[in-house]
Structure 1
Amino acid sequence: MKVLQLIDSLEAGGAERVAVNIANALSAEISKSYLCSTRQEGILKASLDPKVDYFFLNKKRTFDLKAIIKLKSFIKQEQIDIIHAHSSSYFTATLVKLLYPKIKIIWHDHYGNSEFLHQRPKQVLKLCSYFFNHVFSVNQLLASWAERKLYVKSVNYLPNFSVENKQSLVTQLKGVEGKRIVCLANLRPQKDHINLLHAFKAISHKHQDWTLHLVGKDFEDDYTQSIKQYIKDFMLSGGVFLYGSCPDTSAILKHCDIGVLSSKSEGLPLALIEYGLASLPTIATNVGQCKEVIINEQTGLLVPSENSNALSEALESYINNSSKREVLGHSLYLHIDKDFSKKAVISTIKGIYSNFVPH
């Protein structure tokens, strides 16, 4: 069996990390594992296993016929059986299938605004779904939505997984060792960094040694500007640090002490799994499938979304209780190791693949 993971970029986002993780894991499990980035390369390219065949399409626009023909030729030449298309790359996969009907398409829905599905544009996706063989959804809300709205019969919820990376720390972390709060999330509105900044501001005067570290891509847009303006307006620049995308996130997490995710909407955030692999005591908002990872007072602290008071109270309860941090960080690690392991998820993926490729 030969499978191509298709993704639009290799920037450090959740869908991109999942595509790389699956390609790497499959390289030891199937005849040949491939990954194609259609539009843009990025820092995750360095994370690809040498056994994964990598192909950069360099697609320039939505209807780039030359690029589609090039991808079709590559798939035909390599005798690839399945395109596993992540997020918006389903459109490229569909165009390839129109030229090469024997290819199977599995679409992986990573849509982050699953709390606001009524706002989701769906006309093009609905048309393309005629050509999908199966849909993986990163949470149950998305799976139910796909069953109701798309022309595809075969759908299932597939949890994300991550893998421990033995990285060296290259990022120069600021702040005092042992008193760092980290938020691993690209700077997008759904991640609600402003809510986190509200919460941090409320505790910062009492815990002046504690610092907040925002790790994630800066899109240099209005949302990013609002974050920077907030930090400036409330004079938090001595305690809040922005790093942009970093190639050494696993190492950064090992040097932090509390992990936070304050999103308005989520699928199943890879960040929470990565916090768990680093044994970080974690706080998350109760959106998407977060409650499957962060079970309140058992594997972390779960708070309502868009509630900075609840978030600041949770931060303070960790800051004031190092043994609680240690116990919940270790419990989260054990939970991730048991229920969000690479082995279990890859077994599910291979089982679905085998439904569409003759043995």
Structure 2
Amino acid sequence: MRVVQIIDSLDAGGAERMSVNYANSLAEVIEFSGLIATRSEGALKTQIDDNVHFICLNRTKTFDLKELLRLRQFLLEHKVEIVHAHGSSFFVGLLVKIIYFRVKLIWHDHYGDRVKNSMSNNWLIKFASLFFNGVIVCNNELLQWAKSNLYNAKHVYLPNFTVHNPKHEKSLILSGIDGKRIVCLSNLRNPKNHMVLLEGFHKSKLAESGWTLHLVGKDSHDTYSENIKKFIKDKNLQDKVFVYGAQNDVYSVLSQATIGVLASTFEGFPVVLLEYGQSGLAVISSNVGQCPEIILEGKNGLLFQPDDVQQLEESLQKLADDSDLRRFYSSNLKSYVYENFSHEIIIQKAIKFYQSV
């Protein structure tokens, strides 16, 4: 089997991580695994294994015939059978299908809030689905949406997974005290809901007992980002809340933290919760999307409503005050992630789906 993943860029986001995870994991078990970034490289390029064939097209416009023909040549040269397009890269996949019809096109939908959008916002995807040979989704809500709204008859729900590849890690030393670090691994943008996290941390008064909050993710230096930094300054939290920007060494960063938080207002199937679990963190997550499938309230972590600052505040205090509870949750979550979301299990399911199309 010869499969290529397509993604717009390799910036550190959920869909981007999954494209790399699929490419790396497939390279171990199939004849050919490739990865194509259509617009730009990014922080995740260093995470690509040596046995994955990678190119970046540097596409700068919607219809870039030169780069499209370059992509077609790559597929022909490597005798690619299946193109697995992630997220918004479905459009490039559609163009490829038009000029190289014999390739099988699979679209992977990572956008958890799609079910709330009207079809007027998804008309292009619905049209493109005429050319899809299969659709993979990251949660059950998206599966029902795809079955109801897309033309393609083959759909499958595959949970996200994560792969720990230590050879790519480098050192970033987090500020603060060992055992008292809270981390949020999310790009600084909507719908990641950083302001609710900041307010919950501030109101919890945990900073007064030595706890620190660490925001790790792409910083676009826009209004969203500036509001975060203004809050930190206005509340005199400069030595308690730290903003690092995007980092390649995710597991190195997480190994220095004790509590992991996801505060998003919506999610599909967040890879970060799996990364928190693999890293042995005690986790607090917003109760959205497929998060409750990973974080089982009171069993391996805590859930809160993303607009409820008080509930988040109380959850932070609960975990910070009880080291036994943190160990209980972190141990249970680590086992749960390993048993249910290992890359070996998901990749075999993906291969079966590939074969079905």
TM-score bin, normalised by smaller chain: over 0.9
CA contact (8 A) 1:115 1:288 kept: no
Report the counterpart of residue 87 of structure 2 in structure 1: 87
Report the counterpart of residue 56 of structure 1 in structure 2: 56
For residues 164 and 78 of structure 1, the distance between their equivalents in structure 2, rounded to whole angstroms, comes to 28
CA contact (8 A) 2:115 2:145 kept: no
CA contact (8 A) 1:115 1:265 kept: no
| Alpha-carbon distance, 1:76 to partner | 1.3
For residues 315 and 115 of structure 2, the distance between their equivalents in structure 1, rounded to whole angstroms, comes to 23
The residue identity in structure 1 corresponding to 2:82 is: I
- Tell me the SS of whatever aligns to 2:166: coil
For residues 199 and 115 of structure 1, the distance between their equivalents in structure 2, rounded to whole angstroms, comes to 29
CA contact (8 A) 1:2 1:33 kept: yes
Give the TM-score normalised by the residue count of structure 2: 0.97
The residue identity in structure 1 corresponding to 2:352 is: G
Corresponding residue pairs, total: 356
How far does the alpha carbon of each residue in 1:80-127 deviate from its partner, in whole angstroms, 9 at most, with x for none? Answer: 000000011110011011111101100000114346334882121111
The residue identity in structure 1 corresponding to 2:174 is: L
For residues 29 and 312 of structure 1, the distance between their equivalents in structure 2, rounded to whole angstroms, comes to 45
For residues 119 and 234 of structure 1, the distance between their equivalents in structure 2, rounded to whole angstroms, comes to 43
Mark the CA change 1:132 to 1:165 in structure 2 (over 3 Å): closer, same or farther.
same
For residues 307 and 175 of structure 2, the distance between their equivalents in structure 1, rounded to whole angstroms, comes to 27
For residues 320 and 114 of structure 2, the distance between their equivalents in structure 1, rounded to whole angstroms, comes to 31
Report the counterpart of residue 302 of structure 2 in structure 1: 301
For residues 313 and 224 of structure 1, the distance between their equivalents in structure 2, rounded to whole angstroms, comes to 25
Report the counterpart of residue 101 of structure 2 in structure 1: 101
Report the counterpart of residue 193 of structure 1 in structure 2: 194
Give the TM-score normalised by the residue count of structure 1: 0.96
For residues 165 and 330 of structure 1, the distance between their equivalents in structure 2, rounded to whole angstroms, comes to 21
CA contact (8 A) 1:193 1:262 kept: yes
CA contact (8 A) 1:112 1:190 kept: no
For residues 206 and 64 of structure 1, the distance between their equivalents in structure 2, rounded to whole angstroms, comes to 51
The residue identity in structure 2 corresponding to 1:57 is: L
| Alpha-carbon distance, 1:249 to partner | 1.0
Indicate the larger mover: 205-214 or 188-197.
Answer: 205-214
Indicate the larger mover: 269-278 or 64-73.
Answer: 64-73
Unpaired segments ≥5 residues, structure 2 = none
The residue identity in structure 2 corresponding to 1:117 is: N
- Tell me the SS of whatever aligns to 1:130: coil
1:346 aligns with 2:343: no
CA contact (8 A) 1:8 1:37 kept: yes
**Where in structure 2 are the equivalents of 1:146-295 lying within 5 Å?**
146-166=146-166, 168-204=169-205, 207-295=208-296
| Alpha-carbon distance, 1:247 to partner | 1.1
| Alpha-carbon distance, 1:165 to partner | 3.0
CA contact (8 A) 2:284 2:303 kept: yes
**CA-based RMSD:** 1.4
Indicate the larger mover: 226-235 or 28-37.
Answer: 226-235
For residues 291 and 117 of structure 2, the distance between their equivalents in structure 1, rounded to whole angstroms, comes to 17
How far does the alpha carbon of each residue in 1:101-157 deviate from its partner, in whole angstroms, 9 at most, with x for none? Answer: 101100000114346334882121111111001111111111111111111111121
How far does the alpha carbon of each residue in 1:292-312 deviate from its partner, in whole angstroms, 9 at most, with x for none? Answer: 100011011111121110001
Unpaired segments ≥5 residues, structure 1 = none
CA contact (8 A) 1:318 1:325 kept: yes
Report the counterpart of residue 29 of structure 1 in structure 2: 29
CA contact (8 A) 2:207 2:240 kept: no
Percent same amino acid at aligned positions? 42
Report the counterpart of residue 319 of structure 2 in structure 1: 318
How far does the alpha carbon of each residue in 1:57-88 deviate from its partner, in whole angstroms, 9 at most, with x for none? Answer: 11111111111111111111211000000011
| Alpha-carbon distance, 1:226 to partner | 1.4
Mark the CA change 1:132 to 1:340 in structure 2 (over 3 Å): closer, same or farther.
same
For residues 120 and 181 of structure 2, the distance between their equivalents in structure 1, rounded to whole angstroms, comes to 36
1:7 aligns with 2:7: yes
- Tell me the SS of whatever aligns to 1:84: strand
- Tell me the SS of whatever aligns to 1:191: coil
| Alpha-carbon distance, 1:286 to partner | 0.5
The residue identity in structure 2 corresponding to 1:202 is: K
For residues 262 and 288 of structure 2, the distance between their equivalents in structure 1, rounded to whole angstroms, comes to 10
The residue identity in structure 1 corresponding to 2:199 is: H
Report the counterpart of residue 328 of structure 1 in structure 2: 329
For residues 120 and 206 of structure 1, the distance between their equivalents in structure 2, rounded to whole angstroms, comes to 46
For residues 154 and 249 of structure 1, the distance between their equivalents in structure 2, rounded to whole angstroms, comes to 34
CA contact (8 A) 2:173 2:253 kept: no
Mark the CA change 1:228 to 1:303 in structure 2 (over 3 Å): closer, same or farther.
same
How far does the alpha carbon of each residue in 1:245-277 deviate from its partner, in whole angstroms, 9 at most, with x for none? Answer: 001111110110000001100011000000000
For residues 323 and 126 of structure 1, the distance between their equivalents in structure 2, rounded to whole angstroms, comes to 50
